Structure 1
Amino acid sequence: MTGSYLLNYREEMIFLVIGVLVVFPHAVEGSIKVAESYWTLKENELVVDEDMDKYGSKVLVPLVCGESFEGQEIIWKRDSRDKLPHKENKIFVIVEERQGGTYTCYSKEEKYLNHTLVLVQWRYRKIIKGTPEEGYIHCSTNNYSGFFQCFWTWDERRAGKVEFIKITRSHTAGNISCSLNSSAGSITCQDHAYCPYAEEIERINLTIYFRSNFVIETYYLQFRISDIVRPDMVHINKKNNILELNYPESWSTPFSYFPLTFQVKEIRCQKKRGCDCSIRRSSKVDLTQEQQWPFKKGVTVCVRAQDELSNSSWGEWNQYKCKKEECKRTNKKKDGLK
């Protein structure tokens, strides 16, 4: 059995308009109008895309049990409880404000035939946290493998969930799959056709539909892998008085084809405050592609990396601070040379 379908044929629309006059004769004279904008989110799910924000807003939404049931006597129920007065295959139901519902149709013997979940598009941003300036969904990847993750933060006042994910490339359908992570606050995606050695021309178009009760909120992002790449922490090793800055193990190879730029700064840490590389205590910040940095006594060296060939985000800071025993050995060596 296929899901309920939207009315695509002219003759069906004529039938439905006549149905408004018959089933809801008061609607023509009253304030209830026929919904002009509605679409199928996925099988058996219909989204009403009308301005339903005002108190008491109502629209008439057309539903169809199924093509093969035309001419049969149909029993309709809302949320499997409330029996509707309609007995036709094609009917209108009243949707008020943000109150949707599941409309199920049965044969006259009350055998299940089909159902449609009616949802309402919500133009506000309530289900997840964020701002238009800072964004609501944030995507990142630590290399050019074609894998990436997208994160968001639920508003604890809403019982939100992911209803549907749509992801394509700009001009082609692409071959991208996404799965919801166990935390339910992120998704992991893979572009199966992605080639890290070719120029990435087409952008990824990601649309996530979030649902709370019968409300749907739509969030849209567009990006390239190169826009969201963010290297993991740089590995720092000390050899004599030189710090070796090593590429993250997760970074793409060969490194000559995927070069990184290092941002380095030296800070003096206070015992009470500790060492926080993200706090600007040093006005001098150096950029280098070199993987060696001279170590100085009494300072903490902070290092992070960025893809040299794109203007994407910097990775997280890593730091190296001389340990007491190590510093003592260094000082003894220096004293012996005097």
Structure 2
Amino acid sequence: MSWCLVVTFLMITASSGGNTAVLMDNVLVVTVARGDEMSRVPLTCGQVHHDRDVFWKRDGVIQPHLKGLQVSVEIWEVNGGNFSCHSSSSGQYLNHTLVLVHVKEGTKDILEGGQHTDALHCSASNYNGSFDCKWTRTKSRSKAQVLMFKAHRRSQVLACHLDSSASEATCQDLSCSYTEEQKHVHVSLYIFSAYKLEVYTKAFYLRDIVRPEAVPGLRAVGPKKFQWDYPESWQRPCTFFGLTFQVVLVDSNGSCATNSGISIAETDASSFVVDADVSDFVFCVRAQDKHTHGLWSHWSSCRFVTFNLLKPLAGPKI
């Protein structure tokens, strides 16, 4: 089930060895510098339990030295923990606080590409304001948990939903699609493994991440004449949201992605007549925003053979 979570930092307090921030309900983040060994973090069981004697557990294990509504715990290096308080008389669970550690300018190893700016891959199929961001966990951190994903432009918070695998988020910017962008969209992913929190960020204009969907309906309509349609997801009118198409002819055993082909051309029309003297080839076409010259769509292709027979490319054998 998809869900949405939009939160902000609620409070920042000083602690011995680092700063402590309430990131969301029941979650504290201790920010430390590289090389810091120990931080002392204050915890509270909550004012609603002020009339009770309580004891504490760390990751389910009783901590005999921690008693009372307010305690101070030691966090060594990146070893956070899940601290819960319980009634001394009945052992009843009362409250808990998840303590995570974030190392400023520390090495990131939860996501692939973590040390670079491409850990978050964001794209949109048009300008209606909806975009997706995806990420891939490294093999050693495959069980890492997403705490939250958020996005904003200026002071406007954008609604975002995580997919069921917590490996992709879909967000919606309600800005007018006919308005020229003046400010970046900023996205942030908070993800943790073994109580170490890593924050991944990215900033972009929607125009820079728009990739049209592959052109549909590619077909032969005459001798060496091909025609296709605009993607259904592409916005209308086409006179305003125009596309440019790149046409490539490759050898019958070749790939559309090759750097060289029998013929390469570009057109604003949604049809093309092949004038090359070839009788067996693969016809490839892809689309790009005509005005921004942004990302190309994935290729659409079909094979043309002698006697004008149109055959789809053979798929993998099942």
TM-score band, normalised by shorter chain: 0.7 to 0.9
- Letter of the aligned partner of 2:245 in structure 1? F
Q: Point out the structure with the larger helix share.
A: 1
Per-residue deviation at 1:52? 5.3
Task: Answer whether contact 1:52 1:98 (CA < 8 A) is retained.
Answer: no
Larger radius of gyration: 1
- What does residue 116 of structure 1 align with? 97
Distance 1:190 1:46, change over 3 A: same
Runs of 4+ in structure 1 displaced over 6 angstroms? none
For residues 307 and 263 of structure 2, the distance between their equivalents in structure 1, rounded to whole angstroms, comes to: 28
**Aligned counterpart in structure 2 of residue 201 of structure 1, from 167, 170, 182:** 182
Per-residue deviation at 1:44? 0.7
Per-residue deviation at 1:59? 1.7
For residues 293 and 114 of structure 2, the distance between their equivalents in structure 1, rounded to whole angstroms, comes to: 23
Per-residue deviation at 1:324? 4.9
1:79 aligns with 2:63: no
Task: Answer whether contact 1:52 1:58 (CA < 8 A) is retained.
Answer: no
Number of residue pairs matched by the alignment: 292
- Letter of the aligned partner of 2:196 in structure 1? V
SS at match of 1:85: strand
Q: What is the percentage of aligned positions where both structures have the same residue?
A: 32
- What does residue 226 of structure 2 align with? 243
Q: What are the superposed Cα offsets for residues 147-172 of structure 1, whole Å, 9 maximum, x if unpaired?
A: 22111111121121211112211x22
Per-residue deviation at 1:229? 0.7
Structure 1: which 5+ runs fail to align?
14-32, 329-338
Query: How do 1:1-338 and structure 2 match up within 5 A?
Result: 34-51=16-33, 57-68=37-48, 73-109=53-89, 110-122=91-103, 123-130=106-113, 132-133=115-116, 135-158=118-141, 159-169=143-153, 171-174=154-157, 176-191=158-173, 193-235=174-216, 236-241=218-223, 242-269=225-252, 274-282=253-261, 285-295=264-274, 296=276, 297-324=279-306, 326-327=308-309
Structure 2: which 5+ runs fail to align?
1-9, 311-318
For residues 104 and 168 of structure 1, the distance between their equivalents in structure 2, rounded to whole angstroms, comes to: 33
Task: Answer whether contact 1:226 1:312 (CA < 8 A) is retained.
Answer: yes
Q: Point out the structure with the larger strand share.
A: 2
After TM superposition, the structure 1 stretch with the greater mean CA deviation from structure 2, 107-116 or 204-213, is 107-116
Task: Answer whether contact 1:71 1:88 (CA < 8 A) is retained.
Answer: no
Per-residue deviation at 1:283? 8.1
Q: What are the superposed Cα offsets for residues 244-276 of structure 1, whole Å, 9 maximum, x if unpaired?
A: 24211221111111101111222223xxxx231
- Letter of the aligned partner of 2:192 in structure 1? R
Distance 1:324 1:53, change over 3 A: farther
Computed over aligned residues only, the root mean square deviation of the Cα atoms, in angstroms, reads 2.6
Normalised by the length of structure 2, the TM-score is: 0.82
- Letter of the aligned partner of 1:246 in structure 2? D
SS at match of 1:189: strand
For residues 204 and 105 of structure 1, the distance between their equivalents in structure 2, rounded to whole angstroms, comes to: 40
- Letter of the aligned partner of 1:248 in structure 2? P
- Letter of the aligned partner of 1:247 in structure 2? Y
